[in-house]
Amino acid sequence: MIQLFLRDLGLSVRSGGGFGLALIFFLIVVTLIPFALGPDQTALAVVAPGVLWLGALLACLLSLDRIFGLDFEDGTLDLLVTSPLPPEAVYIAKAAAHWLTTGLPLALAAPVLGVLLNLDFETGKILCLSLLLGTPALSLIGAFGASLTIGVKRGGLLLSLLVLPLYVPSLIFGAQAVRLAGQGLPYDVALVLLSAISLGAAAILPFASGAALRINLR
Amino acid sequence: MNNRSIAPTFWDRFWRLANPKVFMGWSGRALPWIVAAAGLSLCSGLIWGYFFTPDDIRQGSTVKIIYLHVPTALMAINGYLLMFVGALVWLIRRQHVSVLAAKAAAPVGMVMTLIALATGAIWGQPMWGTYWVWDPRLTSFLILFLFYVGYIALWAAIEDEDTAADLTSVLAIVGAVFAMLSRYAVLFWNQGLHQGTTVTMADGAQQDNISNVFFQPLLLSMAGFGLLFLTLLLIGTRTEVRSRRLKVLQARERMG
Amino acid sequence: MIPDLGKYALAVNSSYVLSLLALAVIIGLYVKRSRAVKRDLAAMEAVHDA
């Protein structure tokens, strides 16, 4: 499982692996927001937590079909699933690799991009923390969605449709935590609930995705 | 001498419906009665509610929307529950009738959700001033609508019937967990802002000690919508069972 | 016959009209598909039995 994890990491970092793509997309989205909403600094600061969380979420979404897609196309996935490694482990390794190459960089980049939206440093720290706690859920849920749509041709849009409603609780608690922090209110409940979602996803989704992988690769 | 009763229990007879022939036979016989009962209760409930109930002191005549909003909201949730149970039974016992029932329930549940959303928004507009407010109840139904759409889309996207049944069932179960999660998240999200405008019109009306004047036609209406749901569920499942048999025959034809 | 709904007439009436329309659509779709599949299956089984 570790080997699979490292292999996926290596694959994504190499050229054509799409490593920086999520970050670039995040940057573009954040840059577009002031054009859409107007340059008023205070207005931007108000929407910054939500916009940044949403941008990170959408950037995560972009790379989801790569999780299983490439290996499915060249037959590697069949080999992986029939190997002694249980499909649940395949899922975990791939979701973990996705998080490390997408969720983690996004979480670290977010406060920096927050500067573009007039987000102050203290709130930026909480933004980073909330994304660190929340993006694992995004990777886990996203990989689950990807496992469902493996065989669907051009299933990118379907994948988004399935995954986005599942993202709602994480988005709510994550963005809310940052908003509360910005207003000086206590945000620990939101962060705890956010973490609970990530942990819960890690507990149940491997079994669901394992089942989906077995079903799709029969 | 065996003391155990050998008479079939309700559940024994219920599970016999898993056999497609038994199901088609029973549903075919029951359907006319169910349709009649649905038509009767729905029409009388709505007619009574629309024409023969007084206005509410605070809400005026908009209280009449309750006869649409509450039953459809209940059916919206009911539909997803049915999908969840059908999915579970399919994954455990692999009985086609149950997963086909889930498949048939989905569009009905989706339409019920839409009606609940539309009537909820229209009901709230005179009170809130805008057509949409991110009230926890309406927001949860919007998310539920998205779950329905995803489930139906996945069914449509996968060609092999049994694979589609398996994958959509996994989705329905995970979705149910997240749907419940979303409900609490949305409550937190709205109240967490301390805005205090968490108006839940339907709750307000129900807790507002509804007198019999409103409650009786509401009961009729709820029965009507429930029976209508059952009607469409049975029609839809019968169609799916037939459709499956049709595909089997067509495949046999192709193979010569 | 139609009760005096006062200023909320549009709200109440549009709710009823939209809801009944939506119900008519879903009922119509389900019944239509049911009949089509029933017909196709009967045709198929006639050929099959023949």
3-state secondary structure chain A: CHHHHHHHHHHHHCCCCCCCHHHHHHHHHHHHHHHHHCCCHHHHHHHHHHHHHHHHHHHHHHCHHHHHHHHHHCCHHHHHHHCCCCHHHHHHHHHHHHHHHHHHHHHHHHHHHHHHHCCCHHHHHHHHHHHHHHHHHHHHHHHHHHHHCCCCCCCHHHHHHHHHHHHHHHHHHHHHHHHHHHCCCCCHHHHHHHHHHHHHHHHHHHHHHHHHHHHHCC
Kindly tell me the sign of the dihedral angle through the C-alpha atoms of A108, A149, B178, A196: negative
pTM of the model: 0.88
What pLDDT sits at residue B204? 47
CB A93 within 8 A of CB A8: yes
Is residue B31 within 8 angstroms of chain C, CB to CB?
A: no
- pLDDT surpasses 70 at B221: yes
For residue B4, pLDDT beyond 70:
no
Residue B131 to residue B123: CA distance in whole angstroms: 9
Tokens of residue A16, six digits: 């054509």
What does the alpha-carbon distance between residue B35 and residue B24 come to, in Å, rounded to a whole number?
Answer: 16
ipTM of the complex, rounded to two decimals: 0.90
- For residue B42, the number of C-alpha atoms closer than 13 Å in the C-beta half-sphere is 21
Of C5, C16, C26, the CB nearest to B108: C26
Residue B148 sits at the chain C interface (C-beta within 8 Å):
no
Span B108-117, average pLDDT: 96
B154 to A197: CB separation less than 8 angstroms, yes or no:
no
Q: How far apart are the C-alpha atoms of B170 and A69, rounded to whole Å? A: 20
Rounded to the nearest 5°, which phi and psi values hold at B56? -85, 150
HSE at residue A102, side-chain half, CA atoms within 13 A, is: 36
Please report which confidence band the pLDDT of residue B193 belongs to, taking 50, 70 and 90 as the band edges. Answer: very low
For the stretch B46-54, contacts whose Cβ atoms lie closer than 8 Å and that sit 24 or more positions apart, written own/partner, are B46/B217, B46/B221, B46/B224, B46/C16, B48/B216, B48/B217, B48/B220, B49/B217, B49/B218, B49/B220, B49/B221, B50/C3, B50/C12, B50/C16, B51/C1, B51/C2, B51/C3, B52/B217, B53/B213, B53/B214, B53/B217, B54/B213
CA B124/CA A155 separation, integer angstroms: 38
DSSP H helices in chain B = 10-16, 20-51, 66-93, 96-128, 136-157, 161-191, 201-207, 212-255
pLDDT along chain C (50 residues), means of 10: 73 92 97 95 83
Nearest C-alpha neighbor of B106 from the set C26, A159, A126, C8: C26
Going by pLDDT thresholds of 50, 70 and 90, the confidence category of residue B239 is very high
| Residues of chain B found within 8 Å of residue C42, distances taken between Cβ atoms | none
Judge residue B193's burial from the number of C-beta atoms within 10 Å of its C-beta, 0-12 exposed, 13-18 middle, 19 or more buried: middle
Residue B205 has pLDDT above 80, yes or no: no
Cβ <8 Å between B119 and C19 = yes
Chain B hits for C14, CB-CB cut-off 8 Å, are 122
Identify the pLDDT of residue B200: 44
> CA A114, CA A50: separation in Å to the nearest integer?
11
Q: How many interchain CB pairs under 8 A, B with C? A: 98
The SS3 of residue B234 is helix
pLDDT in tens, A153-204: 888 899 999 999 999 999 999 999 999 998 888 899 999 999 999 999 999 9
Give the model's pLDDT for residue B208: 47
Asked if A190's CB is within 8 angstroms of B192's CB, the reply is yes
pLDDT tier at A1, thresholds 50, 70, 90: confident
pLDDT(B254) > 70 = yes
- B250 and C41 in contact by Cβ < 8 A? no
What is the rounded average pLDDT of the residues B99-115?
96
Neighboring chain A residues of B185 at a CB cutoff of 8 Å: 168-169, 172-173, 193
User: In whole angstroms, what is the distance from residue B28 CA to residue B26 CA?
Assistant: 5
DSSP 8-state code for residue B7: S
Return the structure tokens found at A62. Answer: 């972009």
